[in-house]
Amino acid sequence: ETGVTQTPRHLVMGMTNKKSLKCEQHLGHNAMYWYKQSAKKPLELMFVYSLEERVENNSVPSRFSPECPNSSHLFLHLHTLQPEDSALYLCASSQRAALTGELFFGEGSRLTVL
Amino acid sequence: QKEVEQNSGPLSVPEGAIASLNCTYSDRGSQSFFWYRQYSGKSPELIMSIYSNGDKEDGRFTAQLNKASQYVSLLIRDSQPSDSATYLCAVPGGGGTSYGKLTFGQGTILTVHP
């Protein structure tokens, strides 16, 4: 495996379900990110982890809960989501977090909330 | 006020022509600028970065930066149908915080027709 891999690629869930998105990076990077991409809207940063410590929570609702057990893995736990949360969730990594623009993205997890 | 602004297009150019993609940003203190390409159904990938005023060339791609005008552009020479994608302009920082945050524009859809 190379680069940044995300699973599942597609997820359909009801509003009362609990699910998780997984991301793994094989680049030896120290920072990992969750971004949200909705139709007709710019990419939105959700969370940043640097060396397994959360350094940014971009005003994300608590129904999204990130977890970074080590520098290679990142999870996004989902519970009681709303239909407007349907979007493409992109994981990314970079060598460092501070003022970086060089992100490597995974292929994304397409989430549909019914 | 949008922090990074792009014309969403679509921009349509004939094969072999020059495609010009434009981006303006609001933070005068921004020091680095990035262009990402996103094919339909795929994740964004970094194609150019620029840090100094003037032009930076990489193959058929040229990034142009004018910090006084807060303007950055991407020129694609000899456009090919394979260049058809959404081009995202990105600037580190924004929204009152800068650590690990990359602010994206909405993206310009480029179509190169044979």
Q: Count how many pairs of residues, chain A against chain B, have C-beta atoms within 8 Å.
A: 69
Band (B95; pLDDT cuts 50, 70, 90): low
| pLDDT tens track for A30-49 | 999 999 999 888 999 999 99
User: Is A42's CB within 8 Å of B98's CB?
Assistant: no
Tokens of A16: 């009362």
Band (A57; pLDDT cuts 50, 70, 90): confident
| pLDDT tens track for B24-55 | 999 888 889 999 999 999 999 999 999 999 99
* DSSP state string for B63-82: EEEETTTTEEEEEESS--GG
How far, in Å, CA of B5 to CA of A99, rounded? 19
Band (B9; pLDDT cuts 50, 70, 90): confident
pLDDT beyond 90 at B75 = yes
Tokens of A31: 């920072």
Tokens of B90: 């990105």
User: Is B34's CB within 8 Å of A101's CB?
Assistant: yes
Give residue A59's pLDDT: 83
Identify all chain A residues contacting B102, using CB atoms and an 8 Å cutoff.
Answer: 45, 100-101, 103
User: Is B102's CB within 8 Å of A103's CB?
Assistant: yes
Q: Which of A22, A100, A88 is nearest to A55 (CA)?
A: A100
Interface test with A, best of B25, B65, B102, B109 (most A CBs within 10 A): B102
Band (A22; pLDDT cuts 50, 70, 90): very high
Q: Give the one of B4, B32, B100 whose C-beta lies nearest to A48's C-beta.
A: B100
